[in-house]
Structure 1
């Protein structure tokens, strides 16, 4: 259900589709054409109010009170809504509806609406919020006009109760001028609620495409706009898109999505590497050097061009020492030597990656700690099997941080002396607990905790990288008993590298 809300374009029928089913069908058809053209996941959103109870009896029929006349003039029957929902579904679109009262929540359930939307004006209406949570549908909540305190309350309540939950940054000004959009607020709510999908619901002028592009660039996973179809009798309001404008809006957002890329990872293609290499300096010898002879820094100079396979000035600098020639070199010839993957180069790369994950997670270690690199099958295979342990406290109680790099696993082992609890801080971790003839598999996300009792064989792995705290009784060297004989036979110091600092 969570994927249903991811990268979703939501098109709300402008002004309740004028209370006309036929007009609503035109909007659905236009939306479907846009979705097919751009190959996007799109939804059409309806609004439901049980007008017999939603409007106070003394105010029914009044035209001097804002909105009441419009609501009453766009009344639809249950059969009307059923036709619209079926049309949305037949077009392969996601069905979304905003219920404004408890009875309308039940109507949405009866209609089989897939996603419920909580409007900004209802985001502090706790009887309605409770009814929406009880409906057991994915929920999207708009936050126009809400304080951060109100948003905290809403997220705390709904993200635990709805099977999927998304939060929409929204400004309830119609149309919204650029200076009031405050798109940087997306950064705040994404940091504050990292477990919630975040999007943007817009009310800016129809020709303003920059806002949608800014939202995508900031990381919005959902976008919402009002859409309508103008006719000789129907004039759209100042913040609703017609089909042509909606097409341009989606195209602009998709252009920005392509610019931003599918993930936060950096993908360097060979053409880029080749382009840079053409500008790099290669290593050349100043004198004749025989095979087996040492090449020192005073024996070389750096110049372009750098040939394929030639040692670069940067690679030479990383060697930090002399090395032995694998062939004969004559004065002025290019040096073709592969940088050696010695222990220091491997350790330096491991620590750089671990520090990077700590920076990304916003975790500071302070100054008083030691670091263990656990490499159960040796440093060359560390990125496949192992972990980094940062020892912070080891008294009667122990506190460590464990850092695992993407794709890494830790082999099965147990502790006879130590009882430990894993407290997940960042990333993902899957843990297998082996007890007698049974195995329990647990997937941890940030905030989760897992007790590992004494004598319990356990192993763990991560897909995208992980940082988690280990809170335990006193940690004793030699209290790890491994299931695999080739590891168990090693002295603890053969499978660890200890660093006082990094």
Structure 2
């Protein structure tokens, strides 16, 4: 089934508080109040119902009793299939997604019959395997609350729905009503995002409805879905302590939108730096000035200069100064230094090493202390970011293990090995491997074996780290298609670093 994966993105879920008092008319009023908020802020929003076939959900001996928690409330707010159908129709007419939490198998059937867009699994049902099996069989998008569930429980849910081929999301949830601030544990959103990187993670809140710091923090922690109980107070209806009225719900939505704006990066893969920020910092930087007169062609040493504000346009700043730079003209004492930054192979090596280490940090890959780093620069260090690779040798015995770091946009040229057979496993990023002219696009976890004598190359759009496991690595066992690379001595196209 082809499911729209954007369905979960920035989704706000308005859950009907207390089953909208068991009134279709009151439920419609709540739906329309929430749809006005959704239209005002142009948000991706759903209204969520709760389905139970109370004729079978409650044991016959317990019907009508008021001494068992929840049963009196369930019975007093009971709606039938046709009434729920009417509510679903209004939700769709208002341009919202229809969502429901089925607490039994009949409720799942109702979801399918009524065209519910998303099925929700309540925290209390998250280990109800007969119910989960039926929900998974629908192949509907699923959102699972994890209140009261251990990490081991959540792992079981992840594996169950992954094996069933479902599109699903998790909500961090504290199943206390209301939930005290000291129990919220929003750091767990971070952990879920790291543990399940392909799954959308959200937050279902039950805290004080006037507290909009919590949803902002949840967004900052990486929550992409937010859920709250909502209702509509009247002269005869009072909301409980964890449900929002329309005014509170609108403030909640606005706070979340503000948090997203505050947190989001302007560029997908890199930090955005505005010209205003650059100008502001440049106004505080120190420029390079000459302590004494210097003749054209003379090397400029550290003792020949001083650093001071301001740093004017086209003037070298203190951070760009390199000792030994040659003067391109005669300079007078106290004159601004106007030279271009000297770019050296050592500087290039240092820059790419820093980038590679940053990628390893972000990927959470620890190298230990016993490894060797090779910069493979087939066309010189000046072209390394376009053509090359960073090869980290970990073990080389009868078996060999390496890590390869490919910088964003970097390519490794076509080559083959006569002695070595190797297998790649992508650990981080994206990797496109060309094998004898056939493109293989790898995602994290994918494995690709390269047999002896097979020509291959690889590249990455956003950067990649992959593990290479092979037979023993033999020097001079890389045979390149390009005669220019073939003619180079390995020393000319490799820089070896023992420590970085």
Deviates more, 1:405-414 or 1:383-392: 405-414
Are 2:298 and 2:326, in contact at CA under 8 Å, matched by a contact in 1? yes
Could you tell me the TM-score, scaled by structure 1's length? 0.93
Determine helix, strand or coil for the equivalent of 1:159: helix
Cα distance per residue 1:305-338 (max 9 Å; x no partner): 111121111111xx2x311111221111000111
Q: Residue 388 of structure 1: CA displacement?
A: 0.8
Determine helix, strand or coil for the equivalent of 1:167: strand
Deviates more, 1:69-78 or 1:147-156: 69-78
Determine if the alignment matches structure 1 residue 305 to structure 2 residue 310.
yes
The residue that corresponds to 2:470 in the other structure is 472
1:275-424 correspondence to structure 2 within 5 Å: 275-316=280-321, 319=322, 321-424=323-426
The residue that corresponds to 2:451 in the other structure is 453
Deviates more, 1:115-124 or 1:378-387: 378-387
Distance in 1 between the 2:482 and 2:81 partners? 65
Matching residue within 424, 427, 433 for 1:425: 427
Distance in 1 between the 2:38 and 2:485 partners? 55
Q: 1:109/1:382 Cα in 2 relative to 1: closer, same or farther (>3 Å)?
A: farther
Q: Residue 76 of structure 1: CA displacement?
A: 2.8
Q: Residue 203 of structure 1: CA displacement?
A: 0.5
Q: Residue 55 of structure 1: CA displacement?
A: 1.3
Distance in 2 between the 1:490 and 1:84 partners? 74
Cα distance per residue 1:387-434 (max 9 Å; x no partner): 211011111111001112233333333333222221222223233433
Distance in 2 between the 1:112 and 1:458 partners? 49
Q: Residue 148 of structure 1: CA displacement?
A: 2.2
Are 2:413 and 2:457, in contact at CA under 8 Å, matched by a contact in 1? yes
Cα distance per residue 1:90-120 (max 9 Å; x no partner): 3332222211112222221222222221110
Determine if the alignment matches structure 1 residue 66 to structure 2 residue 64.
no
Q: Residue 170 of structure 1: CA displacement?
A: 0.7
Are 1:139 and 1:162, in contact at CA under 8 Å, matched by a contact in 2? no
1:8-27 correspondence to structure 2 within 5 Å: 8-27=11-30
Distance in 2 between the 1:166 and 1:301 partners? 58
Cα distance per residue 1:257-283 (max 9 Å; x no partner): 111123684221121111111111111
Determine if the alignment matches structure 1 residue 172 to structure 2 residue 152.
no
Distance in 2 between the 1:283 and 1:129 partners? 68
Distance in 2 between the 1:47 and 1:296 partners? 76
Q: 1:210/1:390 Cα in 2 relative to 1: closer, same or farther (>3 Å)?
A: same
Distance in 2 between the 1:223 and 1:376 partners? 50
The residue that corresponds to 1:136 in the other structure is 139
The residue that corresponds to 2:259 in the other structure is 256
Are 1:2 and 1:165, in contact at CA under 8 Å, matched by a contact in 2? no
Determine if the alignment matches structure 1 residue 108 to structure 2 residue 90.
no
Distance in 2 between the 1:34 and 1:238 partners? 21
Could you tell me the TM-score, scaled by structure 2's length? 0.93
Structure 1 unaligned spans of 5+:
none
Distance in 2 between the 1:17 and 1:270 partners? 51
Are 1:137 and 1:162, in contact at CA under 8 Å, matched by a contact in 2? no
What RMSD over aligned residues (CA atoms) do the two structures have, in Å? 2.0
The residue that corresponds to 2:440 in the other structure is 441
Cα distance per residue 1:237-272 (max 9 Å; x no partner): 111111111000011111121111236842211211
Structure 2 unaligned spans of 5+:
none
The residue that corresponds to 1:29 in the other structure is 32
Are 1:413 and 1:459, in contact at CA under 8 Å, matched by a contact in 2? yes
Q: 1:49/1:384 Cα in 2 relative to 1: closer, same or farther (>3 Å)?
A: farther
Distance in 1 between the 2:455 and 2:94 partners? 52
Are 2:325 and 2:342, in contact at CA under 8 Å, matched by a contact in 1? no
The residue that corresponds to 1:151 in the other structure is 154
Determine helix, strand or coil for the equivalent of 2:436: strand
Distance in 2 between the 1:86 and 1:378 partners? 66
Matching residue within 2, 6, 12 for 1:3: 6
Are 1:396 and 1:473, in contact at CA under 8 Å, matched by a contact in 2? yes
Q: Residue 491 of structure 1: CA displacement?
A: 4.1
Q: Residue 366 of structure 1: CA displacement?
A: 1.6
Matching residue within 272, 275, 298 for 1:270: 275
Distance in 2 between the 1:400 and 1:306 partners? 45
Q: 1:304/1:388 Cα in 2 relative to 1: closer, same or farther (>3 Å)?
A: same
What is the total number of aligned residue pairs between the two structures? 495
Q: 1:177/1:415 Cα in 2 relative to 1: closer, same or farther (>3 Å)?
A: same
Distance in 2 between the 1:292 and 1:253 partners? 60
Distance in 1 between the 2:91 and 2:486 partners? 61
Are 1:289 and 1:325, in contact at CA under 8 Å, matched by a contact in 2? yes
Distance in 1 between the 2:249 and 2:178 partners? 16
Q: 1:392/1:229 Cα in 2 relative to 1: closer, same or farther (>3 Å)?
A: same
